[in-house]
Amino acid sequence: MHLDAKIPSGPLPEKWDRHRFDLKLITPANKRKYDILVVGAGLAGASASASLAEQGYNVKTLCLQDSPRRGHSIAAQGGINAAKNYQNDGDSVFRLFYDTIKGGDFRSREANVYRLAQISNSIIDQCVAQGVPFAREYGGGLANRSFGGAQVSRTFYARGQTGQQLLLGAYGALMRQVKLGKVTLLPRREMLDLVVEEGEARGIITRNLISGELECHGAHAVVIATGGYGNAYFLSTNAMASNVTATFRAYKRGAAFANPCFVQIHPTCIPAHGNSQSKLTLMSESLRNDGRVWVPEKPGDRRAPADIPEAERDYYLEDKYPSFGNLVPRDVASRNAKEQCDAGKGVGATGLAVYLDFSDAIKRDGLQTIEMKYGNLFQMYEKITDQNPTDRPMMISPAVHYTMGGLWVDYNLMSTIPGLFVLGEANFSDHGANRLGASALMQGLADGYFILPATIGSYLAGLTTKTININQSTFLATREEVENRISRLLATRGRRTIDDFHRQLGLLLWKDCGMTRNEKGLREALARIPAIREEFWHNVIVPGSGQALNQSLERAGRVADFLEFAEVMVIDALSRTESCGCHFREESRGADNEARRDDNNFCHVAAWEFSGPSTHPTLHKEALSFENVELSQRSYT
């Protein structure tokens, strides 16, 4: 396998322009002769489907949910970044680029991130034109707020439901193309395998979740936009059905998986309540604009927060990081919370939470102003915890949130399998080792609205327009493999439930491949995962049949893939002995206890190639070169 990122030559600001000029085009009359499959209908999938259909391609869009309006992008609360500099506070394309590269701890490609910053402004224009009701100032102009890892206000938002409003915009654009007959929409479908014909992606196998039927879909190109794999940890802020299956199946068919160990742990989530917890809920990072994070200064102090006088509180983020204060990036905030809890200073029933306190902000700005900004988040918190955060500080704790790793893609967003494109959280491209807040929506929409529609034509232009025959042997053979796998799951009839195995895997990953990692723990995990997997295939219970709606069977398939994928994740974490961004190797830290990168040995993307069952995957390195920014140790003090 050879990794060619296809980064265009020339100065950074001109690369994308030059590249678009160099790419081959397809005339409008010929575009209708090409079929494209889009798997997933979150921000990336919906925006790509709509934009490709607008250009004239024949698009078929498939999603797990009953409607393409439900992808988990919908749950993004805080906002979307853009380099508009509406606040006149010194922002620019270069600053957004720089903040994102630095936030990612110098483990992403300069050219990709610069392009993302360039496109950011067009995204805001596009969304406003669609009628996305962003927050506004009294003068009628767009409002902004600040987010972690930046010293400018560049985040556009719609109360605490920016993701919802952006997704409904993309969904509207998609439904318009459905009405025009340019997109065929197939909801309640799950991609269970990729069909590769002579080394190129030519289709997928899906399960119709209502009838259970296994369906073959052929196309000239396949686009995967199925999100991240945070649910490997069982508890995460992801939706219940979020999974690794589509990307992992593609990996097993030859697509390299890049940086799987880069998993973002978000500092402000509502703490877990007990063993029956099914998922975790995020509280937007925007709360850290006005909330102050603190713990009692004395370990084991069980007094109610109101009884702890100011002098006995430890505002550890403000003390340690005076210039960024409570708005340090997510990885830094999470690790510091862990450090406090490990020292016995955590609060709440489990001692695994810290306070996020709004009382000073309420004193300063008044209750009404603070409620106007965060009202819906406060209500959400109260609904779940039965406590009002304006009376008593919120309790928050870190939780798995976003995965920077994903299928390796080149500058055109094409994976190592020609014809297979990967967008949004499913790819690895732009966030390095840590994603900044309000950047996921930006990347998903940049990929879907602007990048893929410009690059996919160059691949398709080299193909014949002949329709892909789904009755050929590769399709039938792949479908048979999927069928056998399903039969095996249904035939196991063991004694443990699917969730039981999933929870076991999640706890193991959280302990050994979570906020901090070390060689001993990772080696232990690597030894234990195959044992759990082995037991799963002999002892899982999957009730019901394959020929009907069967939610247990759906979950069993996803957990089976997590059990295989987890091993690749741990192998990656083990091989990267440096600390960078979210990946904190206890063996690699500086005098200040902060993460210490090792640029001499690890300034690369680690792309893993499947090398056969029960064989160690093969590592391929894509070297990262920095010509426009200086590789510095990240500091937020």
Partner 1 sequence: MSRTISLTLRIWRQENGTSQGAFETYRTGPISTEMSFLEMLDVVGERLTLEGKEPVAFDHDCREGICGMCGAVVNGQAHGHQQGTTLCQLHMRHFKDGDTLVIEPFRSRAFPLIKDLVVDRSAFDSLIAEGGYVSVNTGGAIEANTLAIPRKIADLALDAAECIGCGACVAACPNGAAMLFVGAKVSHLALLPQGQPERSRRVLAMVRKMDELGFGSCGNRRECEAACPKRISISNVARLNREFLKASLLADEE
Two tokens, residue 187: 């909801």
Taking CB under 8 A as the rule, does residue 16 contact partner 1? no
Taking CB under 8 A as the rule, does residue 442 contact partner 1? no
What are the angstrom distances between the C-alpha of 617 and each of 254, 419, 562, 568, 596? 11, 23, 16, 7, 27
Q: Map residues 142-161 to x or -, x wherever contact with partner 1 holds by CB under 8 A.
A: x---------------xx-x
Q: How far is the CB of 280 from partner 1 (least distance, A)?
A: 9
Size of the site for partner 1 (CB under 8 A): 83
Q: How far is the CB of 350 from partner 1 (least distance, A)?
A: 12
3-state secondary structure of 297: coil
Q: How far is the CB of 351 from partner 1 (least distance, A)?
A: 15
User: Which DSSP string do the residues of 405-452 spell out, in sequence order?
Assistant: -EE---TTSB-SSTTEEE-GGGB--S-TTSPPTT-HHHHHHIIIIIIH
Three-state SS string over 98-113 comes to HHHHHHCCCCCCHHHH
Q: How far is the CB of 389 from partner 1 (least distance, A)?
A: 16
Span of 260-268, 381-389, 396-404, 617-625 interacting with partner 1 by CB under 8 A: 381-389
3-state secondary structure of 184: strand
Q: How far is the CB of 46 from partner 1 (least distance, A)?
A: 12
Partners of 347 in beta bridges: 353
CA 598 to chain centre: 25
Span of 124-132, 354-362, 516-524, 587-595 interacting with partner 1 by CB under 8 A: 124-132
**Binds partner 1 (CB under 8 A): choice among 324, 411, 428, 450:** 450
3-state secondary structure of 630: coil
Q: What stretches of 110-227 adopt beta strand conformation (E)?
A: 145-146, 153-156, 183-186, 189-197, 200-208, 214-218, 221-224
Taking CB under 8 A as the rule, does residue 26 contact partner 1? no
Q: How far is the CB of 128 from partner 1 (least distance, A)?
A: 4
Q: What residues from 517 to 546 belong to the interface with partner 1 (CB under 8 A)?
A: 541, 543-544
Taking CB under 8 A as the rule, does residue 452 contact partner 1? no
For partner 1, give the closer residue by CB, 168 or 441: 168
For partner 1, give the closer residue by CB, 180 or 476: 180
Report yes or no: 117 and 100 within 8 Å, Cβ to Cβ.
yes
**Binds partner 1 (CB under 8 A): choice among 7, 352, 526, 549:** 549
Question: Where are the alpha helices (H) located in 297-386, listed in sequence order?
Answer: 316-320, 330-342, 359-365, 367-385
**Binds partner 1 (CB under 8 A): choice among 135, 362, 490, 507:** 135
Taking CB under 8 A as the rule, does residue 399 contact partner 1? no
Q: Map residues 270-289 to x or -, x wherever contact with partner 1 holds by CB under 8 A.
A: ---xx-xxxx-xx-------
Report yes or no: 287 and 457 within 8 Å, Cβ to Cβ.
no
For partner 1, give the closer residue by CB, 226 or 588: 226
For partner 1, give the closer residue by CB, 140 or 613: 140
Taking CB under 8 A as the rule, does residue 381 contact partner 1? no
Taking CB under 8 A as the rule, does residue 139 contact partner 1? yes
Residue 35 φ/ψ, nearest 5 degrees? -100, 135
Q: What stretches of 263-363 adopt beta strand conformation (E)?
A: 263-269, 292-296, 313-314, 354-357
What are the angstrom distances between the C-alpha of 214 and each of 225, 283, 408? 20, 39, 28
Q: What residues from 36 to 65 belong to the interface with partner 1 (CB under 8 A)?
A: 47, 50-51, 54, 65
Question: Where are the alpha helices (H) located in 23-92, listed in sequence order?
Answer: 28-31, 43-55
Taking CB under 8 A as the rule, does residue 438 contact partner 1? no
**Binds partner 1 (CB under 8 A): choice among 18, 136, 364, 616:** 136
Q: How far is the CB of 261 from partner 1 (least distance, A)?
A: 26
Angle subtended at Cα 81 by Cα 80 and Cα 83, rounded to the nearest 5 degrees: 150
Taking CB under 8 A as the rule, does residue 380 contact partner 1? yes
Which residue do the tokens 């709509």 mark?
Answer: 50
Report yes or no: 543 and 552 within 8 Å, Cβ to Cβ.
yes
Q: How far is the CB of 424 from partner 1 (least distance, A)?
A: 16
Distance CA 476, CA 399 (A): 41
**Binds partner 1 (CB under 8 A): choice among 141, 300, 462, 613:** 141
For partner 1, give the closer residue by CB, 51 or 516: 51
200-208, strands of its sheet edge to edge = 189-197, 200-208, 214-218
Taking CB under 8 A as the rule, does residue 612 contact partner 1? no
Q: What residues from 334 to 363 belong to the interface with partner 1 (CB under 8 A)?
A: 349
For partner 1, give the closer residue by CB, 130 or 628: 130
Long-range contacts of 493-500 (CB under 8 A, 24+ apart): 493/541, 493/542, 494/538, 494/539, 494/540, 494/541, 495/539, 495/541, 496/535, 496/539, 496/540, 496/541, 497/540, 497/541, 498/540, 498/541, 498/542, 498/552, 498/555, 498/556, 498/559, 499/234, 499/555
**Binds partner 1 (CB under 8 A): choice among 2, 179, 302, 466:** 179
Distance CA 451, CA 202 (A): 21
Q: Map residues 467-506 to x or -, x wherever contact with partner 1 holds by CB under 8 A.
A: ----------------------------x-xxxx------
Q: How far is the CB of 66 from partner 1 (least distance, A)?
A: 6
If you ran DSSP here, which 8-state letter would residue 535 be given? H
Taking CB under 8 A as the rule, does residue 226 contact partner 1? no
Taking CB under 8 A as the rule, does residue 181 contact partner 1? no
For partner 1, give the closer residue by CB, 392 or 589: 392
**Binds partner 1 (CB under 8 A): choice among 44, 59, 152, 185:** 185
**Binds partner 1 (CB under 8 A): choice among 10, 11, 131, 299:** 131
Two tokens, residue 174: 């998609």
For partner 1, give the closer residue by CB, 127 or 255: 127
Two tokens, residue 188: 């309640």
Distance CA 145, CA 158 (A): 11
Span of 25-33, 137-145, 482-490, 597-605 interacting with partner 1 by CB under 8 A: 137-145
For partner 1, give the closer residue by CB, 66 or 342: 66
For partner 1, give the closer residue by CB, 23 or 175: 175
What value does the CA radius of gyration of the chain take, rounded to a whole number of Å?
A: 24
List active site positions.
Answer: 330
If you ran DSSP here, which 8-state letter would residue 66 be given? S
CA 224, 226, 227, 233 torsion-angle sign = negative
**Binds partner 1 (CB under 8 A): choice among 173, 186, 214, 223:** 173
Q: How far is the CB of 75 from partner 1 (least distance, A)?
A: 5
Distance CA 345, CA 87 (A): 39
Q: How far is the CB of 61 from partner 1 (least distance, A)?
A: 12
Taking CB under 8 A as the rule, does residue 134 contact partner 1? yes
Report yes or no: 354 and 293 within 8 Å, Cβ to Cβ.
yes
